[in-house]
Amino acid sequence: MRSQSTRHIFMIEPACFYANPETMDTNVYQVKDGAQENPEAIFKSALREFRAFRDELIGQGVIVTTALGYEACPDMVFPNWMSTHQDGQFFLYPMRNTNRRAERAPEVIEAFKAAYPDFIDWSDFEAREMFLESTASIVSDHVNKVGYSGLSARTNRELVEKWGALMGYEMEIFETRSHQGLPVYHTDFLMYIGSAMAGLCSPCIEDKDRARVLERLSASHDVVEFTMEQLQANCGNALEVIGTGAEKMLVMSDAAFGALSPAQLKAMQAHYKTIIHSDLKTLERYGGGSARCMLMEIFPSVS
């Protein structure tokens, strides 16, 4: 039986952290003046946030496996260059930025290859300037086998369609615009899908696609919609996990939790008794990513 979520999460503890200059042209959510600030203080704060977040997950019964990042990779705390799947697949993905490609740790890859029988390496597409950045590019409804993908400089339509054909998923592909007019860099920044509810910033989806996406998602899930302002507060960057007692829980940052309206929170609490949230303000400010970006799901193979 297929599951939407998992109890086992993989995280990478940063060995360095600062606003990545290579990603700033596509990620409007990371601060642009970070290089002028105190790098040692930024890293220490990010490391504290990472460890507190990891410990909060473990305290709620989530199994967390960690690896240590590399000194030259400021975004390695966001492990969206690989994914695992219930049918036994382990993917490596083509990343747009050079110092993100360097995150593909051979020791991590070998460990996952040993556990998953179907290893799929798409990193060669980088030579063709075609990119697909894992679960950040495609947000999946695993039970119904539907994938949602917002196109951007980091998410190529042809690869989205190729991924859907390979995995047997129907793909809902759409275009977006951030508050600055550029496409939202990653799909998992604007939406998440749990077992019975989903979160979506529908205003950032282009008019021609919005009704179709919302209708498809609403057919299988209760949908909580976010405003553009809530998108900037990372409300769309959340993940359902399984914790103590097989309880389904929702994970997000303190900023996202604090930006929810009472009505939205009530709607979420109808599905989740526990909402895990943690202070990630440094990681959000300089990395332009939030809670979900830091979590790679380790799915047991049911193939």
Mean pLDDT, rounded, of the chain? 96
225 vs 200: CA distance, rounded Å: 5
Residue 277 is predicted with a pLDDT of: 98
pLDDT higher than 70, residue 129: yes
pLDDT higher than 70, residue 302: no
149 vs 160: CA distance, rounded Å: 7
**CB-based burial of residue 101 (10 Å sphere; 0-12 exposed, 13-18 middle, 19+ buried)?**
middle
* Residue bearing tokens 């029988």: 117
pLDDT digits (tens, 9 = 90+) for 60-79: 999 999 999 999 999 999 99
* Residue bearing tokens 């590019």: 137
Q: Looking at residues 215-227, what average pLDDT do you find?
A: 98
In the chain, % of residues over pLDDT 90:
95
> Which residues 6+ apart lie within 8 Å of 82 measured at CB?
90, 91, 92, 93, 104, 108, 109, 112, 134, 296
136 vs 236: CA distance, rounded Å: 12
Q: What is the DSSP string of the chain?
A: ---S--SEEEEEE-S-----TTTTTT-TTS-SSGGGS-HHHHHHHHHHHHHHHHHHHHHTT-EEEEEE--TT-TTTTS-TTEEE-TTSEEEE---SSHHHHTT--HHHHHHHHHH-SEEEE-GGGGGGT--B-HHHH-EEETTTTEEEEE-BTTB-HHHHHHHHHHHT-EEEEE-B--TTSSPPS-GGGTEEE-SSEEEE-GGGB-HHHHHHHHHHHHTTSEEEE--HHHHHTTTT--EEEE-GGG-EEEEEEHHHHHH--HHHHHHHHTT-S-EEEE--HHHHHHHS--TGGG-EE-PPP--
Residue 229 is predicted with a pLDDT of: 98
pLDDT higher than 70, residue 217: yes
pLDDT higher than 80, residue 35: no
169: phi then psi, degrees, rounded to nearest 5: -105, 140
Tell me the domain boundaries of the chain: 8-297
pLDDT digits (tens, 9 = 90+) for 162-200: 999 999 999 999 999 999 999 999 999 999 999 999 999
pLDDT higher than 90, residue 235: yes
Residue 71 is predicted with a pLDDT of: 94
221 pLDDT tier (thresholds 50, 70, 90): very high
> Distances from the Cα of 143 to the Cαs of 32, 103, 164, 167, in angstroms?
39, 30, 14, 13
State the amino acid at position 140 in one-letter form: S
pLDDT digits (tens, 9 = 90+) for 268-284: 999 999 999 999 999 99
Structural tokens at position 170: 């129907």
pLDDT higher than 70, residue 38: yes
pLDDT higher than 90, residue 301: no
Residue 44 is predicted with a pLDDT of: 97
The strand pair at 222-225 and 197-200 is best described as parallel
Residue 36 is predicted with a pLDDT of: 60
pLDDT digits (tens, 9 = 90+) for 71-115: 999 999 999 999 999 999 999 999 999 999 999 999 999 999 999
Query: Residue 201 in contact with residue 225, Cβ under 8 Å?
Result: yes
Query: Residue 7 in contact with residue 251, Cβ under 8 Å?
Result: no
State the amino acid at position 54 in one-letter form: R
pLDDT higher than 80, residue 292: yes
- The CATH label, of 3.75.10.10, 3.40.50.450, 3.40.50.1580, 3.10.20.310, for the domain at 8-297 is 3.75.10.10
CA-nearest of 153, 191, 189 to 172 is 191
248 vs 218: CA distance, rounded Å: 20
Residue 199 is predicted with a pLDDT of: 98
Tell me how far apart the terminal alpha carbons of the chain are, to the nearest angstrom: 10
